Chains A and B, each alone.
Chain A
Amino acid sequence: NAGVMQNPRHLVRRRGQEARLRCSPMKGHSHVYWYRQLPEEGLKFMVYLQKENIIDESGMPKERFSAEFPKEGPSILRIQQVVRGDSAAYFCASSPTVSDTQYFGPGTRLTVL
């Protein structure tokens, strides 16, 4: 059973470009969570999705950030018009139910030049 997969593992973007981060949850998991981790900081919750629905986006910046989890395919975290402050590691986690153990992917490390 493959774990949570994220791609790309490393992403470099110039200011103003778009970043698309993908997350494929573990087989059988319908709950997906996105976290951002700035250098030497903790995990900051961004958004929680369940197939085709955004359940909780209280941690998402109001502008430029969006997330989806379509019926088919991976969950996508999209950052438009990236700025240097968006540079961080973005982790995706999945779980079979909302309160169950979360299994983390390896993360995408975004660098904005």
Chain B
Amino acid sequence: GQQVMQIPQYQHVQEGEDFTTYCNSSTTLSNIQWYKQRPGGHPVFLIQLVKSGEVKKQKRLTFQFGEAKKNSSLHITATQTTDVGTYFCAGEATGANSKLTFGKGITLSVRP
């Protein structure tokens, strides 16, 4: 079955540093979505990427969909303590009626 991988599972950065994480799928995706879960909270939708090579920005967050539509990246510029949380990517395989498959997430901690 389809697998979506996020490695590593944890990352620690100093406040102000940049942070990049990657998401890789075992199959070609029709779209990829990113979610953020704050400690003690629930996952919240951040963004969806659909086109090959697509780049979208949300303030200090930059999301990119790979040319082959099998991977994606999330880059955070100048991390802040409010960026703390777990970031999940979720991919939809090509084909009709495919549900999202979530990665295990990466938990980001930011040292003030």
In the complex, chain A residues whose CB is within 8 Å of the CB of B92? 99
In the complex, chain A residues whose CB is within 8 Å of the CB of B60? none
Q: Is B27 an interface residue (CB 8 A)?
A: no
What is the CB-to-nearest-CB distance from B30 to chain A, in angstroms, rounded to a whole number? 7
In the complex, chain B residues whose CB is within 8 Å of the CB of A101? 33, 45, 48
A56 to B44, CA, bound (A): 23
Partner of A42 from B1, B44, B100, B102 at Cβ < 8 Å: B102
Least CB separation from A91: chain B residue:
B42
Residues of A in contact (CB 8 Å), total 22
A-B contact count (CB 8 A): 52
Known: A42-B88, A48-B99, A56-B99. A99 touches B31 (CB 8 A): yes
Q: Point out which of B35, B43, B92, B107 has the most chain A C-beta atoms below 10 A from its C-beta.
A: B43
Question: Across the interface, do A99 and B98 meet the contact criterion of CB distance under 8 Å?
Answer: yes
A101 to B92, CA, bound (A): 10
Q: Point out which of B1, B33, B44, B100 has the most chain A C-beta atoms below 10 A from its C-beta.
A: B100
Supply 17 A–B pairs (Cβ within 8 Å), ascending by A. Answer: A33-B99, A42-B86, A43-B43, A43-B88, A43-B104, A98-B97, A99-B30, A99-B92, A99-B98, A99-B99, A101-B45, A102-B33, A102-B100, A103-B45, A105-B42, A106-B41, A107-B42
